[in-house]
Amino acid sequence: MCNFYIVDINEYLPAPNFIGQSILMYTATQIQQQQTITSQFLQTGLADEASVDALLQLKDLLRFHEYRYYVLNDPLIADFEYDQLYKQLQDFEAKHPDLITPDSPTQRVGNSLNQSFQTVAHLVPMLSLDNSYNADDLIDFDRKARELSGTENISYCIEPKFDGASISLIYENDELIRAITRGDGVEGEEITNNIKQIRSIPLTAKFSNYGISQIEIRGEIIMTKSSFDKYNQFLTAQGNSPLANPRNAASGSLRMKDPKEVAQRNLDAFLYHVSYFQTTDGKPVEALSTHAGALQLLWDLGFRSPQKEKRVVQGIQPVIDYCLEFESKRDELPYEIDGMVIKVNSLEMQEKLGMTSHHPRWAIAYKFKARQATTRLRAIEFQVGRTGAVTPVAKLDPVYLGGVTVSSISVHNEEYIKEKDLQIGDHVLIERAGDVIPQIVKSLPDLRNGEETAIQFPKTCPVCNSELFKEETEAVWRCINIECEAQVVEKMIHFVSKDAMDIKSFGEANVRKFYELGYLKDIPGIYQLPYEKIGTLEGFGKKSLENLQSAIEASKLQPLHRLIYALGIRFVGETTAKTLANAVENIYDFISKDETALLELEDVGVKVAKSICHFFQNEQNIEMLHHLEAFGLQFKNIKKEATGVDSLGGQTFLFTGTLNKLKRSDAEEMVEKNGGKIMSGVSSKLNYLIVGEDAGSKLEKAKKINTIHIISEDEFLQLIQQNQS
Ligand code: IVH
């Protein structure tokens, strides 16, 4: 038999009264008090010579936040803020070891449990990881590991820190017999039936090939970004609120009563640690002498281990480099990670280094910059967009979040405000997920003091004062006055923008400035700016004026599809604009096209067709087009030079997942140059789906339609070559 850890389970059991019923009975006032204390500690920290009372207060505070996080799954502070508090206590205890008590949050593994599933013991306690935030922390970790192990140059294995819910799996005689949640680290809840719904977890695996009869494996249950989006779309289509982030979606799934619901969530799992094993002959397993070997073994047996993501290096500098490299790629990954985990590669050395009661000394987490924070919602501003939609924007106390200071966040519409239960004056938890747009995760109603006020949605346009309307099928209120100043300005900003007419050096600021000064009042005005007056403005030297003038001149040559997109017709995005441009000789042809004719076009549904007709039946719009034509803009559909002739013969293509050899935009251009068309979604009109790495819902949808050819990137390149030869 071979155990990695020789541990006395009792060491990890909670001390008496360590977490009792009292926490469950926190009153609203006590919760608010804790939050006030939290802010104080975050601002001032715990002084080296702090009183015993202050120390008790901090410990209590950490227990409170752990309870909110682990037990209630409803944190009141951001993870990063919790980590800061934890570190304050840790640093203090390091300086005053005589003040360490067994009930300190630093001296235990986790927290108490919900009782709805059967409680079972882990074979080996599930420890947490110590955290680091910068290169110095990592250098420090390496120094200690070198000192303790007596080794000059340590070999490390680095892998992502998956942002999900941790899990422990036990296989006996090649069969998955039990799956357990982390729980308090010593005991967790048995959730085997739910875990069996996760397809990346094998129900059987040939551990016997390695002589292993029993094994305990640790990992993380995650939801990919695409499954998360898809699941949220499903929820909202059913009139339910979307989930805040993939981590909540994964952890909330583990203890669901109905395993079928778990299956619906399309969860995934990364397995990254062998915590215990037994062999039939009691001999060690060669493959399990390093951590990288364990990942390889798991991979070979059909588990999703971070085999491809991991890197083994010598010494700490390449560790730092890899962490930074991965951090910069974070948004491109198909799943969320919140840092990297650095592990000493040799298991023998791991054993030698051992562990504290909280974490192993042979591993450390490198946490990426925080992308969650708490702040206050101070006001709601209502903004009018180019289609007249009135969007409420939350004005927040400025807070630093993942590299930027955030002070306003769109809160979409009235229903969203209700769902998130937002009030002016509320404390809110905000987050930047995979994309760059921050979101309000939730309000923290427990922290209200009675001075908060309800958000009143306006009845009239905040800019032009005309009455607002809302269609039954929509969540959005609109100003329908097309002369509304806000809409006019937003339309011009859209017209000059990069994806539209791409008038460089114009931009939002200039549109607003020229409008305010009366130099610009509508889209045709862009082509008759009073340059002599602009030249007298501060910041407009000769050179910048020339640049502006030539960018405006150049935009006259932009192809028709850009002009169509730039007109800002509702529901007409870039792809539809291309389809429309290809369907006519001249933009005026749309005046005579009715809905039925438009519906024949790819990607054009009823809503889009109605909107296009509406635009081209409007006299003011036609007058605007006449003006633009007089200025020499491109109204004709100039067919592309046929390079590879029309070899793809109008066949339709769509790309999904990450391409390895081509940039997505280049691949799409290749299709178009060869006479093919790009589609925006999977439908029976699609001929080819080109599948890159980590393809998601589009692939699943395409598999259900027999007529679609599903091909790889290489096959796509062959197809293009064949057609060109
Ligand atoms: S190793 C004894 N590796 O992070 C060491 N943990 O903050 C066991 N986590 O509880 C953990 N990715 O849930 C390890 N590649 C990874 C991880 C990882 C995510 C989680 C895990 C752990 C938590 C510690």
SS (H, E, C) 250-280: HHHHHCCCCHHHHHHCCCEEEEEEEEEEEEC
Residue from 549, 500, 499 nearest 527 by CA:
549
Beta carbon of 129 within 6 Å of any ligand 1 atom: yes
Which atom belonging to ligand 1 lies closest to the Cα atom of 159?
15
CA 289 / ligand 1 centre spacing (Å): 20
pLDDT tier, 12 (very low <50, low <70, confident <90, very high otherwise): very low
Q: What is the DSSP string of 45-92?
A: ---TT--HHHHHHHHHHHHHHHIIIIISS--SS-HHHHHHHHHHHHHH
Beta carbon of 365 within 6 Å of any ligand 1 atom: yes
Residue from 406, 526, 392, 534 nearest 78 by CA:
406
Q: Which of 70, 161, 336 to mutate to test the pocket of ligand 1 (most atoms within 8 A of CB)?
A: 161
Residues classed as catalytic = 161
Encoded tokens for 475 = 């969540």
pLDDT at position 190 over 90: yes
CA 128 / ligand 1 centre spacing (Å): 7
Model pLDDT for residues 591-636, shown as the tens digit of each residue:
999 999 999 997 788 989 999 999 999 999 999 999 999 999 999 9
Beta carbon of 361 within 6 Å of any ligand 1 atom: no
Question: What pLDDT sits at residue 237?
Answer: 62
Encoded tokens for 209 = 């090939």
pLDDT at position 362 over 90: yes
pLDDT tier, 181 (very low <50, low <70, confident <90, very high otherwise): very high
Model pLDDT for residues 500-534, shown as the tens digit of each residue:
998 988 999 999 999 999 999 999 999 999 999 99
Mapped onto helix, strand or coil, the DSSP state of residue 12 is helix
pLDDT tier, 332 (very low <50, low <70, confident <90, very high otherwise): confident
Question: What pLDDT sits at residue 13?
Answer: 27
Q: Which of 122, 129, 295, 336 to mutate to test the pocket of ligand 1 (most atoms within 8 A of CB)?
A: 129
Cβ partners under 8 Å of residue 238, min gap 6: none
The packing angle between helices 317-329 and 135-149, to 10°, is 140
CA 272 / ligand 1 centre spacing (Å): 8
> Sign of torsion, CA 401 404 406 411?
negative
Encoded tokens for 490 = 């937003």
Give the separation between CA 545 and CA 425, rounded to whole angstroms: 45
Question: What pLDDT sits at residue 402?
Answer: 63
Q: Are strands 652-656 and 468-470 parallel, antiparallel or unpaired?
A: unpaired
Please give the average per-residue pLDDT across 582-589, as a whole number.
94
Which atom belonging to ligand 1 lies closest to the Cα atom of 365?
7
Give the alpha-carbon dihedral of 208, 211, 215, 217, to 10 degrees. -80
Give the separation between CA 328 and CA 403, rounded to whole angstroms: 12
Beta carbon of 63 within 6 Å of any ligand 1 atom: no
Mapped onto helix, strand or coil, the DSSP state of residue 400 is strand
Question: What pLDDT sits at residue 673?
Answer: 72
Count CB-CB contacts under 10 A for residue 455. Answer: 18
Please give the average per-residue pLDDT across 164-193, as a whole number.
93
Asked if 581 contacts 560 with a C-beta cutoff of 8 angstroms, the reply is yes
Beta carbon of 336 within 6 Å of any ligand 1 atom: no
Greatest mean pLDDT range, 94-108, 314-328, 705-719: 314-328
Which atom belonging to ligand 1 lies closest to the Cα atom of 127?
2
Nearest CA to ligand 1 atom 22: 128
Asked if 196 contacts 246 with a C-beta cutoff of 8 angstroms, the reply is no
Beta carbon of 159 within 6 Å of any ligand 1 atom: yes
Beta carbon of 162 within 6 Å of any ligand 1 atom: yes
Q: Which residues face 74 on adjacent strands?
A: none
Beta carbon of 338 within 6 Å of any ligand 1 atom: no
Question: What pLDDT sits at residue 18?
Answer: 30
Please give the average per-residue pLDDT across 374-379, as a whole number.
96
Which atom belonging to ligand 1 lies closest to the Cα atom of 273?
1
Beta carbon of 128 within 6 Å of any ligand 1 atom: yes
Model pLDDT for residues 226-253, shown as the tens digit of each residue:
888 888 777 766 656 667 678 888 998 8
Nearest CA to ligand 1 atom 1: 273
pLDDT at position 82 over 70: yes
Encoded tokens for 552 = 């405006």
Beta carbon of 362 within 6 Å of any ligand 1 atom: no
CA atoms within 13 A on the CB side of 605: 7
Residue 499 is which amino acid?
A: D
pLDDT at position 132 over 90: yes
- For residues 425 and 676, the model is more confident at 425
pLDDT tier, 275 (very low <50, low <70, confident <90, very high otherwise): very high
User: What element of type H or E holds 512?
Assistant: helix 507-516
Nearest CA to ligand 1 atom 2: 127
pLDDT tier, 465 (very low <50, low <70, confident <90, very high otherwise): very high
Asked if 341 contacts 160 with a C-beta cutoff of 8 angstroms, the reply is yes
Length of the chain: 725
CA 27 / ligand 1 centre spacing (Å): 33
Question: What pLDDT sits at residue 455?
Answer: 96
Beta carbon of 363 within 6 Å of any ligand 1 atom: yes
Please give the average per-residue pLDDT across 93-99, as a whole number.
92
Asked if 677 contacts 653 with a C-beta cutoff of 8 angstroms, the reply is yes
- The pTM assigned to this predicted structure is 0.50
Count CB-CB contacts under 10 A for residue 154. Answer: 21
CA 637 / ligand 1 centre spacing (Å): 57
Asked if 141 contacts 280 with a C-beta cutoff of 8 angstroms, the reply is no
pLDDT tier, 639 (very low <50, low <70, confident <90, very high otherwise): low
Q: What are phi and psi of 342, to 5 degrees?
A: -110, 125
Question: What pLDDT sits at residue 618?
Answer: 92
Nearest CA to ligand 1 atom 13: 166
